[in-house]
Structure 1
Amino acid sequence: MTTTTHLLRARRFLPLFVTQLLGAFNDNLFKNAMVLFVVFNVYNSEKAEAHFSGMATALFIIPFVALSALSGQLADMRDKARIIRIVKTCEIGIMTVGATGLLLAWKGFHVEGLAIPLMLLALFAMGVHSTFFGPIKYAILPQHLHADEVLAGTGLVEAGTYMAILAGTIVAGYISAPAAAVTVIVTALIGFFAGRSVPPAPPEQPNEPLALPLLRPFLARPRNVVRALGLVPVVVADQVVSLYRLVHSTTRHPRVFLAISAISFFWAVGAILFVQFPPLAKNVLGCSKEVASLFLVIFSVGIAIGSVSINRLLKGTVSARYAPICVVGTALFVVGFHFVCAAWPVPEQRGLLNLTAFITAPLAVPLIGTLLGIAITGGMFIVPLYAFLTTVVEKCEAARTIAANNIVNSGAMLAGSLLAMGLTAAGMRIVDQLLLTGILCLFSAWLGWLLYRAEVAHLGAQETHTFDEMAG
């Protein structure tokens, strides 16, 4: 029996695997079903559609920026299984709100005044849900698995995440709004019961107080909490302090700093592309929502292919030696994608092209090829950089290092989403924004080259962080 087969039958791994898979599926099903429905059924303006797509992306990302410091601490200092149960319970309520918004929009009842705000509220809450669950799904593995099982377990979690993203994206493009509303609630319920079966995972270090330094005087005297005015700004300031301390403590080392910077810059470019895909498919290519969903599927498949390819190329060695050339390849494919989109013929028939009509179009093959190239080279670029974050730091600090990476990544993706919205509002055509993303990729190539230089200079060394100051 292989290690993989053994793990998939073990209670110490299977419930976690199922829980994280269903969570990723639900995130992508709801987000894509919402965006595709609104873009293709509510708005009829490229500017409005791009604005909504960008706003949805930004709302989902904001919690990662604001709460990743707290989520990383909780993952290291509290029972991870208990956090999972709390998070999955909240998901049921969140998806009920989101499903209500989808159904109201489908019925045409107060679409812009009620339905869309409900959907966006649920999307934001799912961002909070994912922020707290993200560090746990990797940090819990060393507690439940044997040393020789951790690599296989991590690979299964990563593969399951991509499978779930792919499945959620595909399903969102083909089912109706009512079907999507029912599916997200059912998925949340199944995830709740799976999460209850995850074995306990108590903290492996002393139970420290959470990093709320500015709020601690109020917590020491409960009456002051009631009397205090402006407590919300104090909490916000606390989180800003915690975010700064976490990111500063993590990124003060060359390899970690450069790896996080390169990953973040790349995902800023990725965020711009994701914002552009639905309105690009509808307004530039004249295609249906199934084709827009296909673009997202191709992107996910390409990243998975790139992840496997670079692992084989590096033969298991964590190295950034191929990072610069990979992201230069990404830039070239983005430019190619731009020219194919610009040359795409305006369809003579009325209505949007369905999937069959798109695939048989003369420029479909080069369009799909360039998009797949973007994703494959992107996957080859980022996977070794993620590996730096778990191999050059001490194991007890891995979750907070990942959390720090999530903070910077999310901030970069938020910036990318806002940039896409701003460029569209300024009148730049979506197809022309593709050229800008190609140029931005070159900056990621420069960061990748700096990382490789730092890798050579610090070969064999392990980074040591000082997280104790966060509790002070």
Structure 2
Amino acid sequence: MAAPQLRLLGTRRFLPLFATQFLGAFNDNLYRSAMLFFVAFNLYRQDGTDAALIAVISSGVFILPYFLFSSIAGQLADRIDKARIARIVKIAEIVIMAVGVVALDGGSLMLMMAVLFAMGVHSTIFGPVKYAMLPQHLAADELMGGTGLVEAGTFLAILAGQLAGGLLATTDATHAMLAVAVIGLAASLFIPAAPAAADRPAVEPNLIASTARIVGHARAEKGLFRAVLGITWFFSLGAVLTQQFVPLVGQLGATQAVGALFLGLFSVGVAIGSLAVSQLLGGAISARYGPASALVLALAVIDLGLTVRGMMPSSLPAATPADIPAFLATAGSWHLVIDLLVIAIAGGIYIVPLYALLQTLGDPASRSRDVAANNIVNAAGMVAISLAVTLILALGAGSAGLFLMLGGFGLVVALASYRAPIAPPVPRG
């Protein structure tokens, strides 16, 4: 394991922020998962179509605040001590989770959606804080390792939250949500001060104008914006892959447990790649492995498409869906498992340097706004690729065809990475 970066977990400069971030990501996904299971097995138990529609709508409700409020969040984080914002956000999370308990206990779908939107706002405000704070607390040779730990922790928290939301009874899930929010607030109290790098102009309240200005500011820094586009590509791809796990297991004649296995492989693989890349780079902030990891990622997605196509139709009878052992005994299953791991590990190696560059290529006084611009572009990218995927699937491509198309686009991304590599940050005097 990566001993130097793991030592950061023993420091006050890093551990409280890491714990606050981990617990926040866990709670986001615990609530979302618990809500969707409640909807599917209580509110719409007899109507799977409506339950599936609610799942799609909930994704939009959660991501909408990134469009609306990222510009405000970035401006605030560049003006106010980021540790203070983190504590305010954690206090708000306790209130939001308390309302979430009421919503789930009362079975109010509208209130559940309102809580989901509020959690999206919570994550929108905290996003610029966590990434802009790291360069203030970590040395230059620690930043890659710290960013890798944050990314690894985030994906593992997402996995743990989703699994907990599905496994816990609703009452137990609501108790856990409140407890995690309180622990998150306690962790945030130990985050060291992270004051604004410089005085900033007053916050622009016009959401459209401020969003355009922040994204335009990031676009002016070519290397920075290339990092933003690279991050957007990976998260858009990851969103599509994870969304396809549920229908894919159905097409392969397997149970939902196999879908959980796929999600676990993806999350753990990204965590492994995130931790490994700092060691590969020796702590240096560099995207030199970006083109190679993008190429491996694209080829693995293409191979995944070919593997899935070769496994269709499943030889298993539709009446007896395969559990994990039975699925792993079928032809092509281990090939699929390896593809998922390679995609995820290559993705971790690809994404962490881009986040480190996002934190260091721009002006420190505008760092939070750069992170906010990244969140805005990420959200737009995920919406755009979701629409494209809907069209592709409507045309009858199926999961295999979809993966092949995504892999082909990934080859274009890899070629662009080779032709226009991102230069490392230049030290500022």
Q: TM-score, normalised by structure 2?
A: 0.85
Change (3 A) 1:340 1:321: same
1:17 corresponds to:
18
Unaligned runs of 5+ in 1: 106-113, 213-237, 465-472
Per the TM alignment, residue 308 of structure 1 is displaced from its structure 2 partner at its CA by 4.3
Per the TM alignment, residue 151 of structure 1 is displaced from its structure 2 partner at its CA by 4.6
Structure 1 segments (4+ residues) deviating >6 Å? none
Unaligned runs of 5+ in 2: none
2:147 corresponds to:
154
Q: Is the Cα–Cα contact under 8 Å of residues 87 and 132 in structure 1 kept in the other structure?
A: yes
1:436 corresponds to:
402
1:216 corresponds to:
none
Per the TM alignment, residue 341 of structure 1 is displaced from its structure 2 partner at its CA by 5.5
Q: Which amino acid aligns with 1:29?
A: L
Q: Which amino acid aligns with 1:181?
A: T
2:203 corresponds to:
210
CA distance in 2, matches of 1:421, 1:59: 18
1:226 corresponds to:
none
Identity of counterpart residues, as a percentage? 40
Q: Is the Cα–Cα contact under 8 Å of residues 86 and 126 in structure 2 kept in the other structure?
A: yes
Per the TM alignment, residue 43 of structure 1 is displaced from its structure 2 partner at its CA by 5.3
Per the TM alignment, residue 129 of structure 1 is displaced from its structure 2 partner at its CA by 0.7
CA distance in 1, matches of 2:170, 2:310: 32
Change (3 A) 1:80 1:322: same
Q: Is the Cα–Cα contact under 8 Å of residues 333 and 373 in structure 1 kept in the other structure?
A: no
2:262 corresponds to 1:292: no
1:403 corresponds to:
372
CA distance in 2, matches of 1:159, 1:88: 21
2:212 corresponds to:
244
Q: How does 1:356-395 map to 2 (within 5 A)?
A: 356-361=325-330, 363-395=332-364
For 1:331-376, what per-residue CA distance to the aligned partner results, in whole angstroms no more than 9, with x for missing partners? Answer: 31331353156332454546x5544544455554233233333323
CA distance in 1, matches of 2:17, 2:126: 11
2:64 corresponds to 1:62: yes
Which residue, out of 52, 55, 58, partners 1:53?
A: 55
1:271 corresponds to:
239
Secondary structure in 2 matching 1:277: helix
CA distance in 2, matches of 1:313, 1:307: 11
Change (3 A) 1:285 1:338: closer
1:321 corresponds to:
291
Change (3 A) 1:134 1:63: same
Q: Is the Cα–Cα contact under 8 Å of residues 303 and 376 in structure 1 kept in the other structure?
A: yes
2:185 corresponds to:
192
1:218 corresponds to:
none
Secondary structure in 1 matching 2:291: coil
Q: Is the Cα–Cα contact under 8 Å of residues 7 and 153 in structure 1 kept in the other structure?
A: yes
Q: Is the Cα–Cα contact under 8 Å of residues 100 and 112 in structure 2 kept in the other structure?
A: yes
CA distance in 2, matches of 1:139, 1:459: 20
Which residue, out of 164, 171, 175, partners 1:171?
A: 164
Say which is worse superposed, 323-332 or 182-191, in terms of deviation.
323-332
Q: How does 1:90-129 map to 2 (within 5 A)?
A: 90-104=92-106, 114=108, 116-129=109-122
Secondary structure in 2 matching 1:140: helix
Q: Is the Cα–Cα contact under 8 Å of residues 299 and 375 in structure 1 kept in the other structure?
A: yes
Change (3 A) 1:324 1:204: closer
CA distance in 2, matches of 1:192, 1:446: 43
Change (3 A) 1:44 1:296: farther
CA distance in 2, matches of 1:451, 1:161: 25
CA distance in 1, matches of 2:287, 2:164: 35
Aligned-pair RMSD on alpha carbons?
3.3
Say which is worse superposed, 88-97 or 159-168, in terms of deviation.
159-168
2:306 corresponds to:
336
CA distance in 2, matches of 1:96, 1:454: 48
CA distance in 2, matches of 1:337, 1:100: 45
Per the TM alignment, residue 86 of structure 1 is displaced from its structure 2 partner at its CA by 1.4
CA distance in 2, matches of 1:49, 1:279: 14
Q: Which amino acid aligns with 1:28?
A: N
2:416 corresponds to 1:450: yes
For 1:132-168, what per-residue CA distance to the aligned partner results, in whole angstroms no more than 9, with x for missing partners? Answer: 1112112223434455654544343333323322322
1:217 corresponds to:
none
Per the TM alignment, residue 58 of structure 1 is displaced from its structure 2 partner at its CA by 2.0
CA distance in 2, matches of 1:34, 1:440: 30
Secondary structure in 1 matching 2:197: coil
Point out the structure with max Rg over C-alpha.
1
Q: Is the Cα–Cα contact under 8 Å of residues 22 and 164 in structure 1 kept in the other structure?
A: yes
Change (3 A) 1:46 1:433: farther
* Number of equivalenced pairs: 422
Change (3 A) 1:259 1:16: closer
Q: Is the Cα–Cα contact under 8 Å of residues 170 and 294 in structure 1 kept in the other structure?
A: no
Q: Is the Cα–Cα contact under 8 Å of residues 300 and 339 in structure 2 kept in the other structure?
A: no
Q: Which amino acid aligns with 2:263?
A: L
2:224 corresponds to:
256
Q: TM-score, normalised by structure 1?
A: 0.78
Q: Is the Cα–Cα contact under 8 Å of residues 245 and 259 in structure 2 kept in the other structure?
A: yes
